Structure 1
Amino acid sequence: MDFDNFKTLGEWDKWKGALAKAVDLGEAIGFNENTVDKMAYRIGNFLSSTVDPENREERVLQELWKVADESDKKVLAKLIVRMVEKDSRLH
């Protein structure tokens, strides 16, 4: 059994949880959906160019970001926001 994967999955869940908290905070202070999506896009640009991925999932996101055009990046950012919102509601 590969116990390293358990650690990686925990980090991935922690990463999604941190994003969910940021989205919840933005919505709590009155940011609308469009503003949250724009912020996610900007954060994605920053992270893709400055942060080394810590696990496979983050690496996949970074690779997708690097090959995407601006429109694709906006869609990817929006999908990531929706993913963490859904996860947040389940927990």
Structure 2
Amino acid sequence: MENMDKRVQEELKNFDKEKKAEILENFENFKQYLGGKVELGEKMGLSEERMAHLAAKVADYLAKKEEPRNREEHLLQELWKVGKKDEQHMLAHMLVRMVKQDSK
């Protein structure tokens, strides 16, 4: 689990700026990107709980380091900032479920 957390942190630090801009350009791109990562996680046998944990790491990074580029990202950032840890974790679960539902 800790090894996966470190990999996520490294990937976030080394993310290509152009690719990041493309993903965050609009909410649909973000959902597609996250959906691809969730699909990969499922293929690796990760539970929804584990994927939500990793999604929370990404959301925390985005809330602290990135400016929202659209209304949806702004809303997510505001919800993230006012949420307590357990609420943030629930929001991460909802994001995972949302992109899983979109991919069906």
Establish whether TM, by shorter chain, passes 0.5: yes
* One of 31, 35, 38 as aligned partner of 2:46: 31
Structure 1 stretches of at least 4 aligned residues deviating more than 2 Å after TM superposition: none
Q: Once the 2 structures are TM-superposed, how far is the Cα of residue 36 of structure 1 from its aligned partner?
A: 0.6
Q: CA offsets per residue over residues 43-83 of structure 1, 9 Å max, x none?
A: 11111101111100000000000000001100101001101
**Higher radius of gyration, 1 or 2:** 1
Which residue does the alignment assign to 1:56?
71
Q: How does 1:1-91 map to 2 (within 5 A)?
A: 11-89=26-104
Unaligned runs of 5+ residues in structure 2 are 1-24
Counterparts of 1:46 and 1:53, CA distance in 2: 12
| Number of equivalenced pairs | 80
Listed as ranges, the gaps of 5+ residues in structure 1 are 1-9
The 3-state SS of whatever aligns with 1:30 is coil
Aligned CA RMSD, in angstroms, stands at 1.2
Q: Choose between structure 1 and 2 for higher RCO, CA contacts under 8 A separated by at least 6 residues.
A: 1
Distance apart, 1:15 and its partner CA:
1.0
Distance 1:11 1:43 in 2: 17
* Sequence identity (%): 38
- With the length of structure 1 as denominator, give the TM-score of the two structures: 0.83
